[in-house]
Chains A and B, each alone.
Chain A
C-alpha cells in the first residue's frame, strides 16, 4: 500500500471518529471531524495515549461520556485483537455498536415487555378499560391530546410560581439607577423620568421522583409524560425514576430525537414494573444525587403509591434528610382518589410527618384540583 493512501485512510478513520461517538450517544457537533484532524495534526499520531487524551478533552462534554470514552477510542482505533470487547454493554451505558445503534442485549430480550410500557400508543390500546377516571383510559389515542394540553397548562402554571421569600423582600419596584441617570442627562441632570427594573422571578428547581414499580404501572407513563412536558416548559427540572434503585432520566427524556429518547429510556428502565423499595431508592438518591441537585430552593415531588417492600424506618429517615435539604417535599399519590383510601400503608405512615403536602393525582381531575395547592406548597 502506498504512503499517501495509508495517510488518507488514517485521516478518514480519524474524521469519522466523532460520527462513531455520536452513534454511541455522544453529543458531537457537525464540525467535529475537522477539529479532530486539527488536533491530530497538532499532537501527532505516533503516541496513542497523547492522542487519546487530547481527543478526549475535545470530544467529551459530560461526565458519562468521559467515563465511556476510552473504551470507545480503543474500539475504533485499535485492531480487533488488541482490545477485548471491553464495554459489555451494561444497562447504564447505551449502546456500543458503530453506525447503527442497537438496543443492548439485555433490553432486547425483554423488549416486548418494556416496549409496551414505554411506548404510549402501542401499549395504550391494549390496556383494558376498567375505571372511567384512571389514566388507563386517557392513554387512548383520542384522549392523548387532552392529557398533553393539561400537562402543558400545568407546567406553564408551575412556571409562574415564585419563591415567596423573594417576593416579600422586594417592596414594590426597584429603581434602575444607571438607566435613570442616562435619561436625566437630557434634562440637565434632574431625574424627571425614573427608570424601573424588571422584577426578576426566582423559580424553584423541581425534582421529580417517579415510582415505576409494578403497582404503579398504569400511572408511571403519565408521570413520565408530565416530566417531559415540565422539562420543556421550565428550565430547571430534574427527573428520576425508581423501583428498587434510582436512575436519572432527564437527559433521556429530553432527547430531541424521539426514537433515541425511547431507546435510552429502555436502557434506563431496566427493572421497570418490578418490586419497590422506596426507602432504599430515595436513600440512594440522597447519597448520589442530592448533594448536587437539591438546594434550598428545590421542590421535591415524589410520585408514588407508597407501597414499599423495604423498611419503613429507612424511608422515614431518608425523607427527614431530604426535607431538611430541600425547600418543599410533596408527595402525589395516585391511589388517594379512590373512595375509602387512607394512607395506612407502612410507607405512607412513615412518610406523612415529613411531607409538606400529600395529595391525590390519580387522574386529570384530581391533578387539576390539586394544582393550586401544589403551587402554593411549592411557592
Chain B
C-alpha cells in the first residue's frame, strides 16, 4: 500500500466517523484539493449529498463553514460586501458640524466600521482558513461566475473606497451545481471536478447505519432496498439521501421493525417522506408498493 493510499484510507475513516461515507474517488479529490489549493466543483442531482461534503469537511478541519447560497439575480456585491449605508447616513448627519475637511470625513465614513462583510469577503479575511461553500452556482448568472473566477484565481478583492483586500488565508472552496445551466469551461478548468451520483446499495446502507445507528439491521437493509427500487422507477423527483433518512426516521417513529410483504397500506401512509410530487404519489399505488415491499 502506498503512503498516499494510506492517507486516503485514513481520510475515509475520519469522514465515516463524522457520518459521511465517501468513495475513494471523492477522498482522493479532497486530498488533492488541499495539495493543489484548488476549488472542488461538485455536480449531481439534488439530494445526493453535495452540500453535505462541505459541511463535513468543515467539521473535519474543525473550522468555520461560510456558505454562499446562489440564486437568480445574485450580484457580486451581495456576495462580497456592502456598505452599511443607514449608519453612513447617520454618521454624515452627525459629522455635519464637524470642522474636519471633506477628505477626512469621507475617510471616516468609508472605513471598515461601516463595511458589512458578505460571505466572499468574510471567507478571505478569516484568520483560520474556513470552508467556503458556494452552493448551486448554476443559479447565479454568467457575470457572477466571471467575477468568481477572478476571486478564485487571485484571492483578492478590490473595494474602490478601501483599496485591495488581500486574502489573509486561503479558504477551501467547494462549489456545487445541479446542472441547470451549463457552467463555463473556464470555471470548470480552474476546479477539481467530482460527479456525485445516487449511492449504490452498499453505500446507502452504510450511510443509513452511520446516520441512524438505532435502526435494526434488517430494517435498514429493507429500507435501502426499497429506496433503491423506488429510484429505478420513472419518477419526476427521485428520492435523495436526505429523503431516505427522513423516511427511516418516519418508520422508526411509527414503530416499524420490519417491512412486511402485506404491509403496503401502512407503508403508503409514510411515503410522504420519500415521494414529493403529486404525480409520483399517483404512480406509487398500492400494487407498486406491495411489489417493492415484497422484493426487499
Complex Cα distance A184/B93, Å?
11
Q: Which residue of A lies closest to B279 (CB)?
A: A321
- Is B178 part of the binding interface, using a Cβ–Cβ cutoff of 8 Å? yes
Contact of A47 among B4, B44, B141, B194 (CB under 8 A): B4
Chain B interface: which of A82-90, A212-220, A289-297, A337-345? A289-297
- Is B154 part of the binding interface, using a Cβ–Cβ cutoff of 8 Å? no
Q: What's the least CB distance linking A116 to chain B, in Å?
A: 30
Q: Which residue of A lies closest to B27 (CB)?
A: A53
The answer to whether A177 and B92 touch (CB under 8 A), given A50-B28, A202-B73, is: no
- Is A186 part of the binding interface, using a Cβ–Cβ cutoff of 8 Å? yes
Chain A-chain B contacts (Cβ-Cβ < 8 Å), number? 124
- Is B61 part of the binding interface, using a Cβ–Cβ cutoff of 8 Å? no
Q: Which residue of B lies closest to A41 (CB)?
A: B35
Neighbouring B residues of A370 by C-beta, 8 Å: none
Q: Establish whether residues A29 and B189, one from each chain, have CB atoms under 8 Å apart when the complex forms.
A: yes
Chain A interface: which of B62-70, B81-89, B207-215, B249-257? B81-89
- Is A171 part of the binding interface, using a Cβ–Cβ cutoff of 8 Å? no
Contact of A185 among B2, B92, B180 (CB under 8 A): B92
Q: Establish whether residues A43 and B4, one from each chain, have CB atoms under 8 Å apart when the complex forms.
A: yes
Q: What's the least CB distance linking A317 to chain B, in Å?
A: 10
Neighbouring A residues of B234 by C-beta, 8 Å: 287
Q: Establish whether residues B189 and A291, one from each chain, have CB atoms under 8 Å apart when the complex forms.
A: no
The answer to whether A250 and B185 touch (CB under 8 A), given A44-B2, A66-B193, is: no
Complex Cα distance A35/B192, Å?
11
Q: Which residue of A lies closest to B35 (CB)?
A: A42
Neighbouring B residues of A236 by C-beta, 8 Å: 181
Complex Cα distance A50/B31, Å?
11
Q: Establish whether residues A63 and B43, one from each chain, have CB atoms under 8 Å apart when the complex forms.
A: yes
Contact of A291 among B73, B82, B142, B237 (CB under 8 A): B237
Q: Establish whether residues A66 and B185, one from each chain, have CB atoms under 8 Å apart when the complex forms.
A: no
Complex Cα distance A292/B236, Å?
11
Contact of B96 among A53, A188, A293 (CB under 8 A): A188
Contact of A49 among B24, B105, B178, B279 (CB under 8 A): B24
Q: Establish whether residues B193 and A47, one from each chain, have CB atoms under 8 Å apart when the complex forms.
A: no
Q: Which residue of B lies closest to A29 (CB)?
A: B189
Neighbouring A residues of B269 by C-beta, 8 Å: none
Q: Establish whether residues B85 and A295, one from each chain, have CB atoms under 8 Å apart when the complex forms.
A: no
Q: Establish whether residues B29 and A54, one from each chain, have CB atoms under 8 Å apart when the complex forms.
A: yes
Neighbouring A residues of B28 by C-beta, 8 Å: 43, 50, 53-54, 56-57
Q: Establish whether residues B96 and A292, one from each chain, have CB atoms under 8 Å apart when the complex forms.
A: no
Contact of B188 among A49, A62, A186, A188 (CB under 8 A): A62
Q: Establish whether residues A189 and B185, one from each chain, have CB atoms under 8 Å apart when the complex forms.
A: no
Q: Establish whether residues B32 and A43, one from each chain, have CB atoms under 8 Å apart when the complex forms.
A: yes
Neighbouring B residues of A172 by C-beta, 8 Å: none
Among B205-235, those with CB < 8 Å from A are 234
- Is A150 part of the binding interface, using a Cβ–Cβ cutoff of 8 Å? no
- Is A372 part of the binding interface, using a Cβ–Cβ cutoff of 8 Å? no
- Is A251 part of the binding interface, using a Cβ–Cβ cutoff of 8 Å? yes
Of residues A53, A177, A205, A291, which shows the largest number of chain B Cβ atoms within 10 Å of its Cβ?
A: A53
Contact of B102 among A43, A181, A185, A235 (CB under 8 A): A185
Q: Establish whether residues A57 and B32, one from each chain, have CB atoms under 8 Å apart when the complex forms.
A: yes
Q: What's the least CB distance linking A348 to chain B, in Å?
A: 25
Q: What's the least CB distance linking A333 to chain B, in Å?
A: 28
- Is A39 part of the binding interface, using a Cβ–Cβ cutoff of 8 Å? yes
Q: Establish whether residues B178 and A292, one from each chain, have CB atoms under 8 Å apart when the complex forms.
A: yes
Q: Which residue of B lies closest to A254 (CB)?
A: B182
Complex Cα distance A66/B36, Å?
20
| Range, interface on chain A | 35 or more
- Is B163 part of the binding interface, using a Cβ–Cβ cutoff of 8 Å? no
Q: Establish whether residues A292 and B102, one from each chain, have CB atoms under 8 Å apart when the complex forms.
A: no
The answer to whether A200 and B73 touch (CB under 8 A), given A39-B36, A185-B109, is: yes
Complex Cα distance A44/B109, Å?
54
Q: Establish whether residues B36 and A63, one from each chain, have CB atoms under 8 Å apart when the complex forms.
A: no
Complex Cα distance A145/B50, Å?
47
Neighbouring A residues of B192 by C-beta, 8 Å: 57-58
Q: Establish whether residues A178 and B102, one from each chain, have CB atoms under 8 Å apart when the complex forms.
A: no
Q: Establish whether residues B8 and A50, one from each chain, have CB atoms under 8 Å apart when the complex forms.
A: yes
Q: Establish whether residues A177 and B85, one from each chain, have CB atoms under 8 Å apart when the complex forms.
A: yes
Among B124-173, those with CB < 8 Å from A are 141-142, 161
Q: Which residue of B lies closest to A42 (CB)?
A: B35
Neighbouring A residues of B279 by C-beta, 8 Å: 321
Could you mark each residue 30-72 of chain A with 1 if its beta carbon is under 8 Å from any beta carbon of chain B, else 0? Answer: 0000010011001110110110011011101111001100000
- Is A27 part of the binding interface, using a Cβ–Cβ cutoff of 8 Å? yes
Q: Establish whether residues A44 and B142, one from each chain, have CB atoms under 8 Å apart when the complex forms.
A: no
- Is B201 part of the binding interface, using a Cβ–Cβ cutoff of 8 Å? no
Neighbouring B residues of A205 by C-beta, 8 Å: 181
Among B29-43, those with CB < 8 Å from A are 29, 31-33, 35-36, 40-41, 43
Complex Cα distance A2/B32, Å?
31
Q: Which residue of B lies closest to A200 (CB)?
A: B73
Complex Cα distance A202/B194, Å?
31
Among B80-113, those with CB < 8 Å from A are 82-83, 85, 88-89, 92-93, 95-96, 102, 105-106, 109-110
Among A165-211, those with CB < 8 Å from B are 177-178, 181-182, 184-186, 188-189, 200, 202, 205
Contact of A181 among B24, B89, B96, B194 (CB under 8 A): B89
Neighbouring B residues of A49 by C-beta, 8 Å: 5, 24
Q: Establish whether residues B73 and A181, one from each chain, have CB atoms under 8 Å apart when the complex forms.
A: no
Of residues A27, A28, A35, A61, which shows the largest number of chain B Cβ atoms within 10 Å of its Cβ?
A: A61
User: 11 interchain pairs (CB within 8 A)?
Assistant: A27-B188, A43-B4, A43-B31, A46-B2, A50-B2, A53-B29, A54-B32, A56-B193, A63-B195, A66-B195, A292-B178
Interface residues of chain A, those whose CB is within 8 Å of chain B, are 27-29, 35, 38-39, 42-44, 46-47, 49-50, 53-54, 56-58, 60-63, 66-67, 177-178, 181-182, 184-186, 188-189, 200, 202, 205, 235-236, 250-251, 287, 291-293, 295, 297, 321
With A56-B193, A188-B92 known, 8 other A-B pairs at CB within 8 A are A39-B36, A50-B4, A57-B33, A58-B192, A63-B195, A189-B89, A189-B96, A202-B73
9 closest residue pairs by CB, A with B = A189-B92, A61-B188, A57-B29, A53-B28, A66-B195, A53-B25, A57-B192, A47-B2, A46-B2
